Structure 1
Amino acid sequence: MTTMTETSARFREFKMPDVGEGLTEAEILKWFVQPGDTVTDGQVVCEVETAKAAVELPIPFDGVVHELRFPEGTTVDVGQVIIAIDVAPGSGDAPAPAPAAAPVQEPVEAAGSGDGDAPKGRTPVLVGYGVAESSTKRRPRKGASAAPEAAAVAAAVQAELNGHAAPAVAAPAPAVPAQGGAPDGGRPLAKPPVRKLAKDLGIDLATVVPTGKDGIITREDVHAAAAPAATAPGTAPAVSPAVAEAPAAAVSSASARETRIPVKGVRKAIAQAMVGSAFTAPHVTEFVTVDVTRTMKLVAELKEDKDMAGVRVNPLLIIAKALLVAIKRNPEVNAAWDEANQEIVQKHYVNLGIAAATPRGLIVPNIKDAHDKTLPQLAAALGELVTTARDGKTSPAAMAGGTVTITNVGVFGVDTGTPILNPGESAILAVGAIKLQPWVHKGKVKPRQVTTLALSFDHRLVDGELGSKVLADVAAILEQPKRLITWA
């Protein structure tokens, strides 16, 4: 979805779009442009990370970058302006970039602008409609003469964050306690997400010096308080221009024995999904150990087959095909539980999820309509899925709509595990390491390639008999791969 506004015939603003299925916010990972750069319609200007994936955002018009509204590392709500473009450069003097307190947005905050309740004196905002100035003026607090040093620090930091020169302090600033964010000894001003961050980091908000408008404590203020050693007391923290990267982790101020990493983006979504799945669907896991020597021979033969040229052939390909055949023989396993309508939804298609470990955390993109693909097509789809995930380019759409999943823990040398269901799915197959082991084959103990499979399933949808049949079918195919032909 493309989101923009026109501030005049010359300047246009580009808002954070909904980059996938109702997501409400995204973190700006990297800016690819700077103020003064020329951009063209369709040019990627930044990369953002949602709760599902990293996505590149193209600008929908030509012009010159006038202003970047948020630094890298900032979490921005959908509908907030992130960049202003001069679409008619040279037609006159450009106005100064909008101050951080402009009605269109909240003061710049690292990883938190716009979420939570609106602060006092501001009107709650519907996404994409901006913020109207309150008609009620804030009454000055008693003793509002804040410490000059704290006021100067707040003004300097805010100016640095917006890429402006620090303004001279010509008028009394809002009350900002010299030692922290609590006005007149009362409760410090901070949004709920900022309060939670402070609690997670073990920071007392009363000791934090606020830099936000009207003395509001921002996420950056909390991070600065968590790592005071990085900034000398009584001086403004070193903040680069508007595209400075926010800290990824905060080291405990008490010692260097702990590192606290804020949970956000993909990792936060994973945690919420796994907790929801584990405590919603009654999990049952069954195991089987199987001789896959013939499957490994088939993999070696397929690597030399000209019909498989240009695609990656590995044991996962045969395992995926075996699971698809097992689902075809036992279609009831491919279903979902509709809690709202109290219905079992049977799927007549298989979107095969493949769990992939990436630097941003575990993601599960899926191969759409995998049941209709030939072996070469399935191999090509698997190769593309893995490459895209490794490069961090998996789209939210690629991770939506999965029906069953495979997780290959064997690549880490692990024998097996008890995998947790991907939310909304009925089953997940864990594949262990394939190892040479002593095995009874044709009445004699011989070294054979052996692995252990584990199938977890939702016991509301899949009873023990059905789950056992599916797992046994997968094992039988891997033991005798010719069943891919006779059972398909």
Structure 2
Amino acid sequence: MIEEFRLPDLGEGLPEAELVQWMVAEGDTVALNQTIAEVETAKAVVELPSPHAGVVSKLHAEAGDIIAVGSVLIAFDIAGEDGGTSSAVNSVAPAAEARAEAPAEEKAQPNLVGYGAAPQASGRPQRRARTAAASVSAPRADTAVLEAAPHDVLHATETIAVPLERPRSTPPVRKLAKDLGIDLGLVEPTGAGGIIARGDVEAYAERVGAASRVAPAAEPVEAVPTSPAPLAGEPSLRERRTPIRGVRKHTAEAMVRSAFTAPHVTTFLTVDVTATTELLASLKSDRSLEGHRIGILAVAAKAVCLALARTPELNSAWDEEHGEIVECGYVNLGIAAATTRGLVVPNIRDADAMTLVELADAIGELASTARSGKTAPAQMMGGTFSITNVGVFGVDAGTPILNPGEAGILALGAVRRQPWEHRGEIALRDVMTLALSFDHRLVDGEQGSRFLADVGSILREPGRAMLLR
């Protein structure tokens, strides 16, 4: 018989997902829990396991489609009670009738991760808008016509993207345009829904005709072959348009929400971190630590955890709904990671309970998982404080935007070897700039400054961490 599998709620409360790729094809035999597809939500790429063992009867979507939660994604032809496998053709109608007669609660899909009630949505997936690039050359025209419609033409040597759909008009209007020798693609519509009306064609013909009549009777000038310009909103070859979706869309919405909800304040501190870089060099040569990549980000993460214990206001949240300030007794440390899919900020749970080596290992694993696009949605939820390392790009400082729901974020600048005052003399030292942004509803300037000074003090003299509680 035929069993349909609908896209489940993947545990994020998101209404849709994009189908990245199928891992199976129609006619393939699949086992229970075998990966059948990869889908991308606003937070991560998720592998979907097969809820059935059987033969793939039909794929209801293509790579790139946007699938609403609850929409049919794939159909399986599974073995019946008699041990045989029913034909997809013969089983479709009975299965459909059975589903029509069954009560709604009996149609629920297998309980995958986070599977929940689906929102009302049409059964068909939304397709990406598709355009075709084509070179369109208009007939040779005189200069008067070109001057009459300068916004309607391009040099014929340019290739433009034009919509596959022809201009919308009625048959009488198309006949009128044909009789007047007018290309409807050059006529601006004024009718409802973008329909070209008879008056639009007549107005265009009058405009072009008037321009032709006033053209000077001079020597013939060879006209430049032309092509219609892209309509408003249509792409050109010198532009690349990417749909706003997935991680990029989620990040944009989160940043706008954060920027216009939490009053941001950013404070800076430039620190001599030579002692820290020397410590890292000695750890790198320690054979007992071989296989552990401990860098300045790990040291900064440890410093942040220690400083948060002294300034808990930076490790709190503003609960608007309940009118409360929530102070966290743990540190879920977010690490901003740049990936090909956009910026993600997965967090390390209970980072405050980890040693320096454990933090370094956790950061390395987190970055590797993020770059592969396999970060679990749960890893990007529940963070309490974040770090972004802009120094890896050679940047000295910035004003980071808070991860929504968090009170602070620390940006690490590049470590630079430069002249610096040291013990009363000028010497070449390793120097970096720290930038702390915080939510001024939760954190006062004094608290933010004290926290940043604590972090800077540890990076300046790592041994001071032994004195902190």
Query: TM-score with structure 1 length normalisation?
Result: 0.68
Aligned AA for 1:51?
Answer: A
**CA distance in structure 1 between the aligned counterparts of 2:65 and 2:42, rounded to whole angstroms:** 14
CA deviations on 1:56-97 (whole Å, 9 max, x unpaired) are: 111122111111101001111111110111112963432189
- C-alpha deviation, 1:184, in angstroms: 13
Is the contact between residue 271 and residue 460 of structure 2 (CA under 8 Å) also seen in structure 1? yes
1:331 corresponds to which of 284, 303, 312: 312
Q: Specify the alignment match of 1:25 in structure 2.
A: 16
CA deviations on 1:27-48 (whole Å, 9 max, x unpaired) are: 0011111001111111111111
Q: Specify the alignment match of 1:145 in structure 2.
A: none
Is the contact between residue 77 and residue 86 of structure 2 (CA under 8 Å) also seen in structure 1? no
Q: Specify the alignment match of 2:338 in structure 1.
A: 357
Larger-Rg structure: 2
Aligned AA for 1:50?
Answer: T
**CA distance in structure 2 between the aligned counterparts of 1:22 and 1:348, rounded to whole angstroms:** 27
**CA distance in structure 2 between the aligned counterparts of 1:336 and 1:182, rounded to whole angstroms:** 60
1:296 corresponds to which of 255, 274, 277: 277
Q: Once superposed, what is the RMSD of the aligned Cα atoms?
A: 3.0
- C-alpha deviation, 1:255, in angstroms: 3.3
Aligned residue runs from structure 1 range 83-482, under 5 A = 83-88=74-79, 91-95=85-89, 127=118, 179-180=167-168, 206=194, 253=234, 255-482=236-463
Aligned AA for 1:35?
Answer: E
- C-alpha deviation, 1:130, in angstroms: 8.0
2:41 pairs with 1:60: no
**CA 1:419–1:63 in 2, change beyond 3 Å: closer, same or farther?**
same
Aligned residue runs from structure 1 range 29-44, under 5 A = 29-44=20-35
**CA distance in structure 1 between the aligned counterparts of 2:194 and 2:253, rounded to whole angstroms:** 30
**CA 1:433–1:254 in 2, change beyond 3 Å: closer, same or farther?**
closer
- C-alpha deviation, 1:16, in angstroms: 0.8
Counting matched residue pairs gives 353
- C-alpha deviation, 1:293, in angstroms: 0.5
Q: Specify the alignment match of 2:217 in structure 1.
A: none
Q: Specify the alignment match of 2:466 in structure 1.
A: 485
Is the contact between residue 293 and residue 360 of structure 2 (CA under 8 Å) also seen in structure 1? yes
SS of 1:482's partner is helix
SS of 2:465's partner is helix
Is the contact between residue 365 and residue 385 of structure 1 (CA under 8 Å) also seen in structure 2? yes
Query: Structure 2, unaligned stretches of length 5 or more?
Result: 98-116, 124-129, 131-164, 174-191, 197-230
- C-alpha deviation, 1:252, in angstroms: 7.0
Query: Structure 1, unaligned stretches of length 5 or more?
Result: 1-9, 104-125, 133-156, 158-176, 186-203, 209-249
- C-alpha deviation, 1:254, in angstroms: 6.3
**CA distance in structure 1 between the aligned counterparts of 2:322 and 2:306, rounded to whole angstroms:** 30
Is the contact between residue 44 and residue 373 of structure 2 (CA under 8 Å) also seen in structure 1? yes
**CA distance in structure 1 between the aligned counterparts of 2:169 and 2:279, rounded to whole angstroms:** 67
**CA distance in structure 2 between the aligned counterparts of 1:478 and 1:436, rounded to whole angstroms:** 15
Q: Specify the alignment match of 1:167 in structure 2.
A: none
**CA distance in structure 2 between the aligned counterparts of 1:323 and 1:52, rounded to whole angstroms:** 26
**CA 1:452–1:372 in 2, change beyond 3 Å: closer, same or farther?**
same
**CA distance in structure 2 between the aligned counterparts of 1:409 and 1:283, rounded to whole angstroms:** 19
- C-alpha deviation, 1:12, in angstroms: 1.3
**CA 1:354–1:183 in 2, change beyond 3 Å: closer, same or farther?**
farther
Aligned AA for 2:39?
Answer: V
Aligned AA for 1:55?
Answer: V
Aligned residue runs from structure 1 range 8-19, under 5 A = 10-19=1-10
Stretch moving more, 423-432 or 306-315: 306-315
Is the contact between residue 64 and residue 85 of structure 1 (CA under 8 Å) also seen in structure 2? yes
**CA 1:86–1:353 in 2, change beyond 3 Å: closer, same or farther?**
same
**CA distance in structure 1 between the aligned counterparts of 2:91 and 2:336, rounded to whole angstroms:** 44
2:86 pairs with 1:81: no
**CA distance in structure 1 between the aligned counterparts of 2:239 and 2:166, rounded to whole angstroms:** 29
**CA distance in structure 2 between the aligned counterparts of 1:259 and 1:206, rounded to whole angstroms:** 25
Structure 1 or 2: more helix by fraction:
2
**CA distance in structure 2 between the aligned counterparts of 1:184 and 1:484, rounded to whole angstroms:** 84
Between the aligned residues of both structures, percent identity stands at 54
2:42 pairs with 1:51: yes
- C-alpha deviation, 1:304, in angstroms: 2.7
**CA distance in structure 1 between the aligned counterparts of 2:409 and 2:298, rounded to whole angstroms:** 16
Stretch moving more, 421-430 or 31-40: 31-40
Is the contact between residue 16 and residue 69 of structure 2 (CA under 8 Å) also seen in structure 1? yes
Is the contact between residue 67 and residue 97 of structure 1 (CA under 8 Å) also seen in structure 2? no
**CA distance in structure 2 between the aligned counterparts of 1:276 and 1:130, rounded to whole angstroms:** 26
